[in-house]
Amino acid sequence: MSTLSAVEENYLKYIFQLSEIFENGIVKTNDLAYKLDHSAASVTDMLKKLSEKKLVAYKKYYGVSLTRNGLTIAVQVLRKHRLWETFLVKNLKFTWDKIHEIAEQLEHIQSDELIDRMDQYLGFPKFDPHGDPIPDKAGNISLPNVVCLADAKLKKQYQLANVNDDSAAFLKYLNKIQLKLNDKVKILDKEEFDETIQLLINDKKQLTISNDAAHNMWVRSVKEI
């Protein structure tokens, strides 16, 4: 159980996040290389190393997935990342576009007691400032019932539940158009040509957003009154 390096922890975390995107849960070398902005050769090296440590199941030319041990660690890193982000916004009054980079560093601080005390200090939050679920100490993650705004139904009442947290530019854009978590959103119309979306925000403000932007937002459906 010797502690992992920050680099190894990052690999596990990104394997986990990418594995959730693909149905079979198998992550390809190039996907990781793109995500990490490393060469494919570097990724292959690290996958062999993690495989020897039994943290991933790696098959040459096929792909990689997490073992039970690897998954446990990946989820704990995610827990730390999201608890720190919550602290930065709730207590230190950072805006949500400034926290991801700092949390990328803080998530690798090694101390179980630290993160448990932080969890308690924050009141055991379930979601981080971007609406991402925070795994609990045991590693349980509540699966929010959300749909990507790009795939949501027309004329149906939703609420903004979750935004992609790793693009500061996107979050700044949301700040600018004054769209926040839990705002009510309804798709009034979708342009066929470029899939531009007409939104109604909180029953009053109208807004046009790109399909690209919509791919970075997830919404939960809301009972109509």
Residue 193 as a binder of DNA (CB under 7 A): the answer is: no
Residue 42 as a binder of DNA (CB under 7 A): the answer is: yes
Q: How many CA atoms lie within 13 A of 69 on its CB side?
A: 11
Q: Which is nearer to a copy of itself, 28 or 98 (CB)?
A: 98
| Residue 30 touches which member of a copy of itself, DNA, Mn ion, none, C-beta under 5-8 Å by kind | DNA
Rg over alpha carbons for the chain, rounded to the nearest Å, is 19
**Ordered alpha helix ranges (H), 99-206:** 99-106, 112-121, 168-176
CB proximity list for 192: less than 8 A, separation 6 or greater: none
Taking CB under 5 A as the binding criterion, the range among 58-66, 115-123, 157-165, 179-187 that sits at the site for Mn ion is 157-165
Residue 83 as a binder of a copy of itself (CB under 8 A): the answer is: no
H/E stretch holding 162 reads: strand 157-163
Q: Which is nearer to DNA, 28 or 126 (CB)?
A: 28
CB proximity list for 191: less than 8 A, separation 6 or greater: 197, 198
Residue 114 CA, chain-centre distance (Å), reads: 22
Residue 183 as a binder of Mn ion (CB under 5 A): the answer is: no
Q: Of 33, 69, 104, 156, which lies in the binding site for Mn ion, with binding defined by CB under 5 A?
A: 104
Residue 113 as a binder of a copy of itself (CB under 8 A): the answer is: yes
Q: Please, what's the b/e burial string for 63-98 (b: 16 or more CB within 10 A of its CB; e: otherwise)?
A: bbbbbeebbebbbbbbbbbbbbbbbbbeeeebebbe
Residue 66 CA, chain-centre distance (Å), reads: 18
Taking CB under 8 A as the binding criterion, the range among 67-75, 97-105, 185-193, 197-205 that sits at the site for a copy of itself is 97-105
Residue type, 101: E
| Residue 102 touches which member of DNA, a copy of itself, Mn ion, none, C-beta under 5-8 Å by kind | a copy of itself
Q: Of 13, 16, 63, 82, which lies in the binding site for DNA, with binding defined by CB under 7 A?
A: 63
- Residue 181 near residue 127 (C-beta atoms within 8 A): no
Residue 88 as a binder of a copy of itself (CB under 8 A): the answer is: yes
Contacts with DNA by CB under 7 A lie at 5, 7-8, 28-31, 37-49, 58, 60-61, 63
In the complex, the residues that contact a copy of itself under the rule CB under 8 A are 88, 91-94, 98, 101-102, 105-106, 109-111, 113-114, 117-118, 121
